[in-house]
Amino acid sequence: MANHPFENFNLESELITAIKDLNFNKPTEIQSRVIPKIIKGTSIIGQSQTGTGKSHAFLLPLMQRIDSTINEPQAIIVAPTRELAQQLFDAASHLAKFKQDISVKLFIGGTDFEKDRQRAKNQPHLVIGTPTRINDLAKNGELHVHLASYLVIDEADLMIDLGLIEDVDLIAARLEENASIAVFSATIPKSLHPFLNKYLEHPEFIEIEKPSQNKENIEFYLIPTKSEDKVDKTLKLMNVINPYLGIIFCNSRDSANELAKQINEAGVKVGMIHGGLTPRERKQQMKRIRNLEFQYVIASDLASRGIDIPGVSHVINFDVPNDIDFFTHRVGRTGRGQYHGVAITLYSPDEEENIGLIEERGYKFNDVDIKDDELKAIKAHNKRKVRKKQDDHLTNQIKNKVKRNNKNKVKPGYKKKFKQEVENLKRQERKQYSKRQNRLARKNKKG
C-alpha cells in the first residue's frame, strides 16, 4: 500500500493517524516547507496568507519534538487574539489525543487569573495563549516558559497592530540562547524588524507567494452602489443570495454597529463580531455563530485575521478595505479546503481607486448588479473608466477647437453658448465615429 504523503516528513505513526483523521490528503506548500525546518529546530520567518494550512505546519512538528517524559514546557505558541489562541488549542488538543501523555494548556486573557495560576502548577508540554497572560504567569514564576526550546509567534503583524509585541519580546527574552523561534506573518512591516533582528540570527525565510489570480474555488463579484443607498443594496443582496453562512465586512466597529442596527430593524437577525465586544460577549457570539443561529455575521477586520469561523460560504465587503491586504484576509474566510466560496464587494464611486489597487494584486471581478431579484452581468467598471477617459479627451479637444473659433469674441452669455457648442460638436464627433465604425465593419464583412 502506498505511503501517506505526510509520511515523507518521518512523522510518528500516531501523528499520521491524526492527519488521516483530519482527512488531510497531501501537505500544502507551507506545510511542505515548514514542517522539516521546525522538526530540525531551525528558526524561520514564514510569510503566508490565511487559509494556507499554516497552523498544522507548526503544530505537527512541535508535537513531533515533544518528549512526554519531560514534564516541563517544551514549546510556546502565542497568538494575538483569544479566539485564535482557542482555535490553535483545539487543533493541538486533537493531535494530542493521538499522541499519548502530551499535555497542552491554554492561557488567555479574560479568564480567571488565579485559576490559571493553579493550572500552571502542573507544567504542560505545550503552552498556547495570548502574550500578556503567558507573560504574566511567567513573570510570577508560575509558568516555566524559560525552559521551552521553541517559540512560535503567530500573526506577528497583528501583534504589532494590537500593541502586543512588547509582551512577546518579554517572553522571547526569557528563553535560552539556543532556543529556536518561528515567526509567522501575512506581511513583514518595518515595525516588526527590530524584534526579528534582536532574536532571530540568520533565520530561514519562507514565503508563500500571494495568488497572482483568483482562487479557482472562489467567485468574485463587484456590485456598484452609485445611485442607491448601500444599506438598501445590501438588503436586496441578502434577499437574492442564500448562503450557508455569510460574513459581511465593515471597515470599523462603528460602521459594523450601524449596519447591524439597520439590518436588524429590517427584520433580519444577524450576528456581530468586532473588537469592541467584551470577552464574554465575543465568546457568546462565537458560540451562537458556530451553532448556526445566524445566516449572516457582521464583522470588522478582526474576524478576517484573528478569528476562524467555519462553514463560511459567502463573504460580502460592505466597505472596500482601506488596507488592501485585508481584502485577501477577508476573502480567505471562504472557499477553504475543497469548498466553493463566493466573495461579493459593494463599492461606491469614491472607492473605485481601491478597487483598482485590488485588481493590481491579480484579482479579477465579475461585474454584476441586482435586477429582477437576480445577479445579472453588467458592463465592466474598468471599461466604463476607459470610455470616460476617452470622452474627457474628446471634450478637451473640442473645447480647444471652440476656443480657437471664438478667440477675441467674449460676449454676454458666452459660457452658456460655449457649453452648448461643445455638446453639439461632441454629438457630431460621435456620429461621425459611429459611421466610420459601421463602414469599417461592412468592409471587413465583404472581405
Spell 385-403 as b/e; 16+ CB within 10 A means b.
Answer: eeeeeeeeebeeebbeebe
pLDDT of amino acid 339 = 81
Inform me whether the pLDDT recorded for 389 exceeds 60.
no
Gap between the Cα atoms of 435 and 162, Å rounded: 61
Q: Which of 116-130, 214-228, 295-309, 361-375 has the highest mean pLDDT?
A: 116-130
Distance of CA 132 to the CA centre of its chain: 24
Grade residue 100 by pLDDT with cuts at 50, 70 and 90.
confident
Q: Where are the alpha helices (DSSP H) in 227-348?
A: 230-240, 253-265, 279-290, 302-305, 325-331
Grade residue 171 by pLDDT with cuts at 50, 70 and 90.
very high
83 half-sphere exposure, CB direction, 13 A CA radius: 24
Grade residue 51 by pLDDT with cuts at 50, 70 and 90.
low
More confident residue, 112 or 213: 112
Q: What is the DSSP letter of 261?
A: H
Task: For the beta carbon of residue 112, count every other beta carbon within 10 angstroms.
Answer: 9
Helix (H, G, I), strand (E, B) or coil at 6: helix
Grade residue 387 by pLDDT with cuts at 50, 70 and 90.
very low
pLDDT of amino acid 386 = 45
pLDDT of amino acid 168 = 96
Please classify residue 38 by burial: count the beta carbons closer than 10 Å to its beta carbon, then call 0-12 exposed, 13-18 middle and 19+ buried.
Answer: buried
pLDDT of amino acid 414 = 54
Gap between the Cα atoms of 145 and 74, Å rounded: 8
pLDDT of amino acid 401 = 56
More confident residue, 303 or 298: 298
Q: Count helices and strands (H / E) in the chain.
A: 17, 15
Grade residue 378 by pLDDT with cuts at 50, 70 and 90.
very high
- Residues with Cβ < 8 Å from 3, sequence gap 6 or more? none
Longest dimension (CA), the chain: 98
More confident residue, 387 or 364: 364
Please classify residue 71 by burial: count the beta carbons closer than 10 Å to its beta carbon, then call 0-12 exposed, 13-18 middle and 19+ buried.
Answer: middle
Pairing of strands 374-377, 366-371: antiparallel
Least confidently predicted of 73-82, 94-103, 179-188, 205-214: 205-214
Gap between the Cα atoms of 103 and 93, Å rounded: 9
In one-letter notation, the amino acid at residue 143 is L
Average pLDDT over residues 105-121: 94
Grid cell, residue 130, equals: 495570548
Please classify residue 128 by burial: count the beta carbons closer than 10 Å to its beta carbon, then call 0-12 exposed, 13-18 middle and 19+ buried.
Answer: buried
Task: Yes or no: say if 288 and 280 are a contact pair by the CB < 8 Å rule.
Answer: no
Grade residue 234 by pLDDT with cuts at 50, 70 and 90.
very high
What percent of the residues of the chain are helix, what percent strand, and what percent coil, each to the nearest 5? 50, 15, 35
- Residues with Cβ < 8 Å from 299, sequence gap 6 or more? 247, 248, 249, 250, 256, 272, 273, 274, 307
Q: Which of 277-281, 333-337, 339-343 has the highest mean pLDDT?
A: 339-343
Residues forming beta bridges with residue 314, ordered by sequence position: 246, 342
Average pLDDT over residues 418-438: 63
Q: Which of 56-60, 323-327, 350-354 has the highest mean pLDDT?
A: 56-60
Inform me whether the pLDDT recorded for 16 exceeds 70.
yes
**Long-range CB contacts (within 8 A, 24+) of 10-13:** 10/39, 11/35, 11/60, 11/64, 12/64, 12/99
3-state secondary structure 200-243: CCCCEEEECCCCCCCCCCEEEEEEECCCCCHHHHHHHHHHHCCC
Question: How many residues belong to the chain?
Answer: 447
What mean pLDDT is reported for the chain? 85
- Residues with Cβ < 8 Å from 226, sequence gap 6 or more? 348, 349
What are the pLDDT digits (tens) for 395-406?
555 555 555 555
Q: Where are the alpha helices (DSSP H) in 99-162?
A: 113-120, 131-139, 156-161
Inform me whether the pLDDT recorded for 213 exceeds 60.
no
Gap between the Cα atoms of 262 and 232, Å rounded: 9
pLDDT of amino acid 332 = 84
Residues forming beta bridges with residue 153, ordered by sequence position: 78, 183
Task: Yes or no: say if 47 and 209 are a contact pair by the CB < 8 Å rule.
Answer: no
Average pLDDT over residues 281-294: 87
Inform me whether the pLDDT recorded for 241 exceeds 80.
yes
Q: Which among 148, 155, 26 has a CA at the least distance from the CA of 87?
A: 155
pLDDT of amino acid 64 = 96
Grid cell, residue 226, equals: 452609485
Inform me whether the pLDDT recorded for 438 exceeds 80.
no
Least confidently predicted of 121-130, 156-165, 428-437: 428-437
